[in-house]
């Protein structure tokens, strides 16, 4: 049995940047004898979070929860108000917000300051959506929607702007934005459509589609609550009959050995050492089954 890796997989530049910030924070906390935190889980990957925990990094959700120390803002970012609350309480912040998320935050902040309503398409429970919506500090509102049917609850205005969570499906965003544009134009209004979907998601998805053409089955590695990993799993299911979403070598099964060629891809928050350990586990299991 042969394992082929996708050409694009694993940590994206935004996650790599946040990890650099955490390593800086670990050094700084050690030299100053301070506690160290990430504001929310750094990435959606339990193995990596356990690794950070072993290095003394705790997760904090609000400033009151813990004694102030060094706190790293993850790639998803945080709302402006929350940033101010942490600073007010004496935390030293290291900013790991992905530059693409910062761009979305700036757009929302500008529109809000100008009194314009922004429609943000994404998962309302996702940290990035919370952080981007929380960049609005002016009179303009942010309305979060997830699907086309949510358009009916948007109060229409003469000029509006729409953008999406960076990891949202491009096709779904185009369809939602197109529908809102049409609705608004029928009422004499105008919609500005901002392209905010991260190419790293698209590149990972395109590489997976190419991989699908050459393999019999696909393993998607990544956290079960990572939205870009879930999207890869959905996509793999649409182009390949045999697909698994796993996040640990313990989830490798004998069934995976029943194929000649198996493809492997990983979400943007999946460390490479996890992929390597899963590959090794499959190879060992399949070899043992042959003996």
The alpha helices in the chain, defined as continuous H runs, are 13-32, 46-54, 80-88, 99-113, 127-133, 170-186, 199-212, 227-239, 272-290
Is 168 exposed, middle or buried, given 0-12, 13-18 or 19+ CB atoms closer than 10 A?
A: buried
Which range touches ligand SF4 (CB under 6 A), out of 1-9, 80-88, 94-102, 236-244?
94-102
Q: From the list 112, 167, 227, 229, which residue makes contact with ligand SF4 (rule: CB under 6 A)? A: 167
Q: Which residues are catalytic?
A: 128
169 versus 200: smaller Cβ distance to ligand SF4: 200
Q: How far is CA 136 from the centre of its chain?
A: 21
Q: From the list 25, 36, 82, 98, which residue makes contact with ligand SF4 (rule: CB under 6 A)? A: 98
Q: From the list 38, 105, 166, 169, which residue makes contact with ligand SF4 (rule: CB under 6 A)? A: 166
Q: From the list 8, 52, 70, 75, which residue makes contact with ligand SF4 (rule: CB under 6 A)? A: 75
In 3D, which of 75, 111, 113 has the Cα closest to residue 200?
Answer: 75
Q: From the list 120, 268, 274, 286, which residue makes contact with ligand SF4 (rule: CB under 6 A)? A: 268
29 versus 108: smaller Cβ distance to ligand SF4: 108
42 forms part of the interface with ligand SF4 (CB under 6 A) = no
CB of 102 to ligand SF4, least distance (A): 10
13 forms part of the interface with ligand SF4 (CB under 6 A) = yes
Give, in order, the Cα–Cα distances in Å from 78 to each of 44, 118, 119, 240.
16, 18, 18, 37
Number of residues engaging ligand SF4 in binding (CB under 6 A): 14
CB of 287 to ligand SF4, least distance (A): 35
201 forms part of the interface with ligand SF4 (CB under 6 A) = yes
**CB neighbours of 191 closer than 8 A, spacing ≥ 6?**
159, 160, 161, 162, 177, 180, 181, 184, 185
Alpha-carbon span 162 to 173, nearest angstrom: 9
198 forms part of the interface with ligand SF4 (CB under 6 A) = yes
Alpha-carbon span 129 to 261, nearest angstrom: 38
Which range touches ligand SF4 (CB under 6 A), out of 8-16, 27-35, 111-119, 237-245?
8-16
Alpha-carbon span 20 to 98, nearest angstrom: 12
63 versus 77: smaller Cβ distance to ligand SF4: 77
CB of 167 to ligand SF4, least distance (A): 6
Alpha-carbon span 93 to 78, nearest angstrom: 11
100 forms part of the interface with ligand SF4 (CB under 6 A) = yes
Q: How far is CA 11 from the centre of its chain?
A: 10
CB of 227 to ligand SF4, least distance (A): 10
Q: From the list 200, 226, 247, 265, which residue makes contact with ligand SF4 (rule: CB under 6 A)? A: 200
Q: Which two tokens stand for residue 13?
A: 């530049």
- Give me the residues that bind ligand SF4 (CB under 6 A), please: 12-15, 75, 98, 100-101, 166-167, 198, 200-201, 268
């Amino acid at each position: 049995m042969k394992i082929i890796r996708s050409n694009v997989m694993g940590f994206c530049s935004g996650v790599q940047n946040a990890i650099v910030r955490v390593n800086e924070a670990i050094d700084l906390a050690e030299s100053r004898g301070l506690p160290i935190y990430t504001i929310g889980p750094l990435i959606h990957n339990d193995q990596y979070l356990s690794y950070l925990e072993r290095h003394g990094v705790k997760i904090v959700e609000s400033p009151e929860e813990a004694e102030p120390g060094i706190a790293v803002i993850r790639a998803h970012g945080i709302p402006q108000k929350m940033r101010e609350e942490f600073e007010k309480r004496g935390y030293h912040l290291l900013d790991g917000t992905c530059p693409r998320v910062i761009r979305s935050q700036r757009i929302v902040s500008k529109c809000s300051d100008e009194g314009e309503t922004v429609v943000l398409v994404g998962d309302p429970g996702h940290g990035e959506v919370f952080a981007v919506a929380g960049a609005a500090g002016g009179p303009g509102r942010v309305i979060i929607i997830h699907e086309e049917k949510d358009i009916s609850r948007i109060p229409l205005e003469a000029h509006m702007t729409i953008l999406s969570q960076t990891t949202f499906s491009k096709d779904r965003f185009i369809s939602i934005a197109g529908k809102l544009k049409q609705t608004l134009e029928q009422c004499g209004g105008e919609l500005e459509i901002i392209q905010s979907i991260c190419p790293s998601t698209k590149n990972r998805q395109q590489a997976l589609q190419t991989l699908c053409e050459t393999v019999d089955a696909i393993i998607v590695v990544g956290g079960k609550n990572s939205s870009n990993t879930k999207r890869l799993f959905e996509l793999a299911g649409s182009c390949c009959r045999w697909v698994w979403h796993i996040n640990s070598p313990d989830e490798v099964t004998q069934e995976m050995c029943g194929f000649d060629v198996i493809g492997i891809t990983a979400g943007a928050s999946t460390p490479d050492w996890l992929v390597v350990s899963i590959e090794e586990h499959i190879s060992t299991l399949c070899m043992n089954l042959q003996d």
